[in-house]
Structure 1
Amino acid sequence: MSTSLQAAVDAPGRLMAAEIAEQPRVLERILASYADHLAPVVARLRSHDTRAVLLVARGTSDHAALYAKYLIETRLGLPTGLVSTSTYTGYDARPDLRGVVWIAVSQSGGSPDLVASTRVAREQGALTISLTNVEDNPLTDAAELRLPLLAGTEESVAATKTYSASLLWLWLLVQSWSGGDTAAAARVPEWVAGALDRPEVAQVASRYRFVDRLVTTSRGFGYPTAREGALKLMETCYLSAHAFSGADLLHGPLAMVDEDRPVIVISPAGQGARMLQPVLDQLAERGADVCLIAPQETAAGAPVRILLPSGMDEQLAPIAQIVPLQQLALQLALSRHYDPDRPRGLNKVTRTT
C-alpha cells in the first residue's frame, strides 16, 4: 500500500465520518425490508395483554430507549419505564413481570447486564424483544423475539448510524403496534441527507474549539437528542457536556449558565417547540451563548444556528436532529487533534455487570 493511501486509511475520524455519511442509505435499507422482520413481533404484541413496557439499554442505546419511552406513552398510552439493570443483576430482584413488554436495545448485544436482566425478565413472565445490530449475540439468544438493526458493521467506537437506525426501528415498531400508518417514515432518509454537511457546523466547531464545558437541552422528543449529543461531545472531544431537559434546566442548573458556557438547544417542531420557548426566553435574559439547532422556520433571528430540513414530523425529527451534533463532535475532536474513531479508554463493546 502506498504511503498516501495508508495515510488516508489511518486518517483520524475516517470511520466516524464515513458512518455518519452512510446514514441515509442505512435508513433506506431499513424502510425497504423492515416489514418481514416486524410482522411476527407486532402480531405477538397485539395478542399480548400489555399493562406496561420496560426498556433496557446502555450508553447511546439508552438515549434511543428514552426516545421510545416518549413514543410508547404518547402513541400507546402505556406506562413505560427505563430499567435499572443492577436491581436484577446486583440486588437479585425478581418482580412479577407478567403483562410487561420488555424491549432491550443494544448495538452489540454483548453487555452482560443487559443479557442477564433480559433473561430474568423472560423467566419472570415478560414478553422480551431484542433490537441489536450484531447478527448472533447473547442478547438475541436471551429474548423471545428479535429485531435486527440492519445498520451494517459499525467500526467507529462512537456510535452514529446504529443510533439513527435504532430510532427508526423503534418508531416503526410503535407505529405498527398502535395500528398507525408508517408512510410518514418514507421521507426520513431525505431529511437525514438534508441534515448532512451543513456549513454552519464548521463555524460552530471553530467557535467552540477551546470550550471545555457546555450544556445541551431540549424538550419532548428532542430531549433524547440533547442527551445523545452531549455523549458524543464527551466521548470524542473530552469536554464536560451536561444534558438537561428544558424543564429541568430551569429547576436549578440554569444558575450555572452564563456567556462563558455555551448552550446547544435542539428545537423540535410542534408541541416540543412551544414547551421550549420559555427556556429560550430565560437563556436570552441571561445573555447565554446559544447555538440553536432547528428548521429554518423556527431558527430565524438566532445569531448562532445550525439549520435542519423544514417540514419534519415532530416524532421522526430526532432521526435527523442528531446528525449535525454527530458532525460537530467529529469536527470539534479533529480541531483539538483527537481521533474520534478511537476515544481514549473506550472500546466498541462495553461490558457492564
Structure 2
Amino acid sequence: MAADLAEQPAGYARLLEPDRADAIARVARAIAERRPRHVVYAARGTSDHAALYAAYLTEIRLSLPAGLASPSTMTLFGARPDLSDALVVGVSQSGGSADLAEVLRVARGAGALTLAVTNAPDSPLAGLAELSVDIAAGHERAVAATKTYTAELLALLMLVEGVRAGDGRLPAAERAALAELPELAERVLADPAAGALAPRYRFAGQLVTTGRGYAYPTAREAALKLMETSYLPALAFSGADLLHGPLAMTDPDVPVLALVGSGPGGDAMRAVLPRLAERGADVVTIGSAEVPGAVRIAVPEVDERYAPLLDILPLQRLALALALARGEDPDAPRGLNKVTSTH
C-alpha cells in the first residue's frame, strides 16, 4: 500500500503526457459530437466514489443531469430503462465486474452511448463499450485501491473538461493548472502530519467523515479506506446530511474528519463546524482552508474541482498508518480480494 501511495504523482504525470491526453481528448470529442442529454455512471466500491465525483463535475461543468446507476435494477430485476439519449459510463479498476458489464450491455442495446473507464483496457467492460479510457495506473499491489482511484479522478476530470471544450482539447490555462498536480501531490505525500494522527484514532470505536460538493466523494472514499484497512466503522455524510440527524451521534468520543477547502463547498462546510463544536466533537479538518482553533491537515490550495485529487492523499496515508498502529495488515484486509464479483 505504501508503494502504491508513492506512485500517485507519477500516475498523474503519466495521464497528462501528450499521447494519453490526446487519447482522452478523442473520446471527449466523440461524446461532445453525440450531445447526450443525460449521463449515468455505473460503478462499485472505490470506483463508485470516483463516479460520484464525475457526476458532480457533469452537472456543474456540463449542465447535464447525472446520476449513479443501481446495477441490480437491470441485473436482478430485469429493468430496461430508455437510455436512447444517455451517455452510460462504467467505471471499474479491473473492468471485470459482471454486473457493470451487464449495465453497459443493456445500455448499449437501449441506444445509449457507452464508455468504459478502466485500468484494464483488455477487460470485458472495455470490450463491451463503444468508447474506452485507459487510466494507465499500472499494477496495484495492495487490495485497498489508492493509485487507481486517483487515476480515475484525473481521467474523469480530463474527460468532462474535454467534453465541455467541445473539441476534446483542454484550454491552455487548464492544462497549465493540471501540470502542477504531480509536484503538489509529491508535497502532500511528503507531509508527515496525516500519519502522525494515527495514535489519536488508535482506540476509536467509530468515526465520521464529511464534506460538501466535490469533497463529498472524498469523505466517502476516506471512510471506505479506514473500514477496509483498520476495520474501523466509519460513516460518511455530506455536510448538509450531517445536520439532518446524524449530528446527534457526534460527541467527544466520535472523531470527525471534515473536508474544508476553498470555493462554495468549503464555505458550506465552515457553516457546519460550529454545530460540531456545540457537540464537543473531536474534529480534524483536511484541506486548504484555515479554520481557527481546529487541528488541520493542510493541503495546497487549488481550484475546487482539483482538490479531491490532493485531499484524498493524506487520508490514504492516515488509513495506512492507522492500520499499522492497530496491528493490522493494510495490504491484505481480511475477507477481501482485489476483484470483487457481484451480479
Which residue of 314, 318, 327 maps to 1:337? Answer: 327
Residue of structure 1 in register with 2:337 after alignment: 347
Supply the distance in 2 between the matched residues of 1:331 and 1:100 (Cα, whole angstroms). 42
Structure 1 residue 69 and structure 2 residue 55: aligned? yes
Work out the CA distance in 2 between the residues paired with 1:209 and 1:41.
Answer: 45
1:220 is aligned to 2:213:
yes
Q: Where in structure 2 are the equivalents of 1:50-199 lying within 5 Å?
A: 50-179=36-165, 181=171, 182-183=174-175, 184-199=177-192
Q: Deviations over 1:39-89 (max 9, x none)?
A: 331221121131100000000000000000110000000000100000110
Equivalent AA in structure 2 for residue 270 of structure 1:
G
AA aligned opposite 1:330:
L
Give TM-score, length-normalised by structure 2.
0.95
Give the structure 2 partner of residue 11 of structure 1.
Answer: none
Q: Residues of 1 paired with 2:141 and 2:195: CA distance?
A: 24
Q: TM-score with structure 1 length normalisation? A: 0.93
| 2:153 counterpart letter in structure 1 | L
> What's the Cα RMSD here?
1.1
Percent identity over the alignment is 54
1:31 corresponds to 2:16: yes
Q: Which residue number in structure 2 is paired with residue 4 of structure 1?
A: none
* Counterparts of 2:22 and 2:281, CA distance in 1: 49
Superposed CA offset, 1:118-147 (max 9, x none): 111011100000010023111001111110
Hey, what does 1:312 align to over in structure 2? Answer: 302
Counterpart amino acid of residue 319 in structure 1: L
Question: Is the 2:91–2:117 contact (alpha carbons within 8 Å) kept by the matching residues of 1?
Answer: yes
Indicate whether 1:286 and 2:240 are aligned.
Answer: no
Listed as ranges, the gaps of 5+ residues in structure 2 are none
User: What are the residue-to-residue correspondences of 1:41-56 with 2, within 5 Å?
Assistant: 41-56=27-42
Distance (Å, rounded) in 2 between the aligned partners of 1:209 and 1:303:
20
In 2, the alpha carbon distance for the partners of 1:302 and 1:119 equals: 52
Determine whether 1:275 maps to 2:268.
yes
Gaps of 5+ in 1: 1-15
2:246 — aligned with what? 253
**Aligned partners of 1:214, 1:189: CA distance in 2, in Å?**
30
| 2:34 partner SS | coil
77-86 vs 91-100, greater mean Cα deviation: 91-100
Residues in 1 aligned to 2:182 and 2:287: alpha-carbon distance in whole angstroms: 18
Cα deviation, residue 206, structure 1: 1.0
Query: Which residue of structure 1 aligns with residue 315 of structure 2?
Result: 325
Aligned length: 335
Q: Distance in 2 between matches of 1:121 and 1:343?
A: 34
Deviations 1:205-233 (A, max 9, x none): 11111112000001111000000000000
User: Partner of 2:237: helix, strand, or coil?
Assistant: strand
Structure 1 residue 252 displacement after superposition: 0.3
Between the aligned partners of 2:243 and 2:281, the Cα distance in structure 1 is 14
User: CA shift at 1:107, angstroms?
Assistant: 0.3
Aligned mates of 1:215, 1:44 — CA distance in 2: 41
Q: Which stretch shows the higher mean deviation, 134-143 or 37-46? A: 37-46
